[in-house]
Amino acid sequence: MGGDRRTAGEWYTLDNAAVLYSALQTEKYSAIYRFSAVMDRPVDRAALQRAVDRTMPRFPTFGVRIKRGAFWYYFEPNRAPGPFVKEDISNPCQPVRFREDNGWLVRFYVYEKRISLEVFHAVSDGAGALVFFKTLLAVYLRELGYDIPNTHGILDVNEPPRPEEREDAYGRYATVRPRREKRGKRAYPNNGTAEPFYTFNVTIGFCPVSALKARAGARGASITEYLTAVLLKVLLDKQHREAPRKERPVALAIPINLRPWFPSDTLRNFILTARPAVDPALGSYTFEEVLSQVHHYLRLTISRQRMQAELSGNVRFTRNRLLQLVPIVLKNPVMSLGYKLAGVLPYSGTYTNPGPFPVPAEMAPHIQRMEVILGQATTPRPNCASMSYGDTMAITFAGTEAETDTEREFFRFLVRDGVPVKVESNRAR
């Protein structure tokens, strides 16, 4: 790949979420996630590399390296060779190191029929990365000779990037009176025994979307609400079995894509986090009671007014003049501590559901299923993510803890509730 492929400016600042993800970066931790497409036949690695080479220039916000300034990190175009398609590894979502792999913050892997994309979260959120991944898959299939139209969110790689795709949407919509959410109570941590470094346990359960929809719909809930409630109930019962001296609230971090409420074509981060929680100090809960609480909490909390006030508060924090003048070597530890207090201790885990993956009819037969993995947490506990394609929902638990209680009980709950599940895992035992 020769020449200057970048059409973006020479550098640009990180968005509000990217500032946090870069500050949390350590030798043993990066905010990484993975999307995978399992194709209908073994992947042609050379064709995929050609597709990567053709797709990357259309997405300049993905073709960057991160640089450390005196006061903030920033992005600049990455003109180094790559990124190159690699053979997949048994422990995915490993930390990035800004000075390694030619500074690339996206990775491409192949294993038999599976194509995987890994992204450092400072670059983009899941919604932005899915636009990139869907476009890449379309270009790959064209390299194999198939005629795939630019519909269903696929971008035309022969067109130049649009400026609005690079916008900092947080800054655009931070126009109302700021509101910082109160920090939630310290939650049940759901931590387990830490595995040796580089060991990342992944368990995926596959189940019919139709069965999930039926079980959720019978209770007047969405699939996301239903799965959130299942995970909360499993963690409530798990904590109760452990019989601690004091039972803490069980709470989940649920990322919310802001684009449906605040129109933006940005391919960068544009999310906030909701916190559904159940407090066992108030008494015991049936599953139906947990589901009702999740349903009403999410419907009340996810409103345009509340979210705009919260994102305005977050942006005001990073624009604080005093904070701007603090050197990055002092700023990062402070932001890491703040994240631990506000982003780790009040939660028992994370659950994210990017939703269905619609593609053109011409593309559909070539993809068997989609998978998603949310990278490691800052503590040894599993994160949960789900994604559907056609009638197959893939629900993934991934983390650095040795125990399997959370995922085992979660999938057992679904089976008892009438949802069949097929489970795969990379665990050696």
Reported as a single tens digit per residue, the pLDDT across 173-223 is 999 988 767 778 999 999 999 999 889 999 999 999 999 999 999 999 999
Q: Which of 124, 153, 173 is the last residue before a domain boundary?
A: 173
85 lies in some domain = yes
Q: Which of 157, 173, 189 is the last residue before a domain boundary?
A: 173
In this predicted structure, the answer to whether residue 325 has a pLDDT above a threshold of 90 is no
The verdict on 139 and 281 lying in the same domain is no
- Domain of 94, CATH number, reads 3.30.559.10
46 half-sphere exposure, CB direction, 13 A CA radius? 1
In this predicted structure, the answer to whether residue 4 has a pLDDT above a threshold of 80 is no
408 lies in some domain = yes
Whole-number mean pLDDT of the chain? Answer: 94
The verdict on 50 and 156 lying in the same domain is yes
The verdict on 151 and 233 lying in the same domain is no
Per DSSP, 113 falls in state T
The verdict on 259 and 134 lying in the same domain is no
Give how far the C-alpha of residue 186 lies from the chain's centroid of Cα atoms, to the nearest Å. 23
215 lies in some domain = yes
Q: Are 174 and 310 in contact (CB under 8 A)?
A: no
pLDDT band at 429 (very low <50, low <70, confident <90, very high): low
The number of folded domains in the chain is 2
Q: Which of 73-77, 278-282, 313-317 has the lowest mean pLDDT?
A: 313-317
Task: Determine the length of the chain.
Answer: 429
Q: In the prediction, which pLDDT does 5 show?
A: 39
245 lies in some domain = yes
- Domain with 146 in it: 12-173
The verdict on 220 and 90 lying in the same domain is no
Per cent of the chain over pLDDT 90 is: 85
Nearest Cα residue to 371 out of 424, 429, 414: 424
Q: Give the amino acid at 234.
A: V
Task: Find tokens 């960068």 and name the residue.
Answer: 268
95 lies in some domain = yes
User: What are the E-state strand segments in 193-301?
Assistant: 201-208, 250-257, 271-274, 277-278
Q: Are 116 and 88 in contact (CB under 8 A)?
A: yes
The verdict on 306 and 349 lying in the same domain is yes
Q: In the prediction, which pLDDT does 7 show?
A: 42
Q: In the prediction, which pLDDT does 255 show?
A: 97
Reported as a single tens digit per residue, the pLDDT across 151-179 is 999 999 999 999 999 999 999 999 998 87
Reported as a single tens digit per residue, the pLDDT across 5-44 is 334 457 889 998 999 999 999 888 999 999 999 999 999 9
182 lies in some domain = no
Long-range CB pairs of 279-287 (<8 Å, 24+ gap) are 279/185, 279/249, 280/236, 280/239, 280/240, 280/247, 280/248, 280/249, 280/250, 281/247, 281/249, 285/233, 285/236, 287/229, 287/230, 287/233
The verdict on 231 and 304 lying in the same domain is yes
35 lies in some domain = yes
Alpha-carbon gap, residue 109 to 104, rounded angstroms: 14
What average pLDDT does range 308-330 have in this prediction? 85
